[in-house]
Amino acid sequence: MTTKVFVDGQEGTTGLKIFEYLSERRDIEVLRIDEAKRKDVEERRRLINASDVTFLCLPDVASRESVSLVENDNTCVIDASTAFRTQDDWAYGLPELTRAQRERLRTAKRIAVPGCHASAFVLSMQPLVAGGLVPADFDAHAYSITGYSGGGKKMIADYEAGGDAKLTSPRPYALGLTHKHLPEMAVRSGLKSAPIFTPIVGNFLKGLAVTTYFSPNQLARAAKPQDVQSMLAEYYANEPFIRVLPFNAGSNLDDGFFDVQACNDTNRVDIFVFGNDERFVTVARLDNLGKGASGAAIQCMNLHIGADEEAGLKR
């Protein structure tokens, strides 16, 4: 038996990548919309309600409109926008979040796919808050470096056109400190307030790493960075898509440098702890088009339809 899937917003970066994943699946029937009717509300309504699963790869306002078109209790909506990520009536699409999260994703009809920066931050922070090591009122400071594909089609075109010298160096952005991922970074990690967070886009297509800073005197109890690494390793011990690497190991680096792109073309997240007894950082690395977007959406679909969670995805 096949699962009928519709992608609303099939022309964007996330939608195209979802199509790439689905094209390899024999258990999926993709419902395609005629290009001329891509913005036709009634045609979208028909396809959404004919599907078992609809992926929304749209801006927030358009996603809300698409959700309003659902007229049955069977269609599962998996939304990749920021519109629903902190709503309790939507399941957060991060199976590794808590022990109960997979069961919720299996039964939910509304699933919000996490943001790429948020996924990396939450996966490295939430176990520490849940385990009582980091207090809920912790003032988190973090930055992310990411490939330009996260900026969408226009940014991709700008970088790939070449000839613009300013695009060859890293470019910090969202310096008003109001990045759209901040609400979910706080809510889904268990913090009372959002981190001070600055993202940086680099001259490479994809790959992302979020670094979060810690001082031992900020922790709720005495702990060394090795203890933090052990806590994370225990929390994710049986997770197929998460690796917690050894503390400060030379093998974590490439001749002393960190490789942001080492998880590319996988659905894997690598988590590291670097530092010493006086200060340390966590670093979470992923493919921003994989586990940071489309791969996460497919993982959620697999759980919801009862398929192998790893189907179509690479570790």
**Tokens (6 digits) for 127:** 């176990």
In the three-class reduction of DSSP (H, G, I as helix; E, B as strand; rest coil), residue 151 is classed as helix
DSSP state of 293: I
CA atoms within 13 A on the CB side of 18: 35
Enumerate the β-bridge partners of residue 212: 142, 282
The residue type of 200 is: I
77/66 Cα distance (integer angstroms) = 9
Distance CA 145, CA 24 (A): 30
Q: Of these residues, 57, 76, 116, 300, which one is catalytic? A: 116
Give 146's strand partners. Answer: 201, 208
Side chain identity, residue 211: T
Largest CA distance in the chain: 62
Distance of CA 126 to the CA centre of its chain: 14
For 232, the enclosing helix (H) or strand (E) is helix 225-235
Beta bridge partners of 133: none
Helix axes 60-68, 41-50, angle to 10 degrees: 70
Phi, psi values for residue 162, rounded to 5°:
70, 180
Q: How many CB atoms lie within 10 A of CB 315?
A: 11
**In what helix (H) or strand (E) does residue 56 lie, and over which residues does it extend?**
strand 53-56
**Active-site residue flag, 116:** yes
For the annotated catalytic residues, the residue numbers are 116
